[in-house]
Amino acid sequence: MAIRNLFPKPDMHSIPVFGNFFRLTFVENHGAVFGIDPKLGNLTNIILLLLHIIAITVIIYLFIKNKHSLPRFSFTLILSGAFGNLIDRIFFGKVTDFLDVDFLNLTIGKWQIDRWYVFNIADSCIVVGVILLIIYYLFVENSAKEEEILEKE
């Protein structure tokens, strides 16, 4: 809500914080990740609401099932981000994005990103949580399994 109040005029869209590198930019995302919008009107919002609820249910199940602290912390970050975006979608019918950072320029074939997509804190929580889960499952859990195998031999 604070970001919505920070941009009261329709023509005011961006506030530089650290020059062009970091800006607060008001964007209303009607679609999904990276602004992907299937253009189905209200049906888009209903589908995304249902997907949020399904994802939250699955993540809660995984949180309860897992007893290790790093995955549980990761699931907590992902859940908090999912709930944050869900609340925006319920109350406004869209997600409010506002963090505008010029990370790096990417070119993959004909696909090019000159400036990263505008995102919010909830998105950041989800990304950090997923990265921590990847690290855990690739390095920590695999190492523990290898140690168990070596101990049994």
Active-site entry in 11, 37, 114, 123 = 123
In angstroms, the CA 47 to CA 85 distance is 14
Q: Catalytic residue at 102?
A: no
Closest to 23 in 3D by CA, of 95, 116, 104? 116
**88 in active site:** no
| CA–CA distance, 120 with 129 (Å, rounded to integer) | 14
Q: Are strands 111-113 and 14-18 parallel, antiparallel or unpaired?
A: unpaired
* SS3 at position 32: coil
Q: Is 107 left (phi over 0), alpha (psi -120 to 50) or beta?
A: beta
Task: Report how far residue 16's alpha carbon sits from residue 100's, in angstroms, rounded to the nearest whole number.
Answer: 9
- Active-site annotation holder among 88, 97, 102, 114: 97
- The residues carrying an active-site annotation are 97, 123
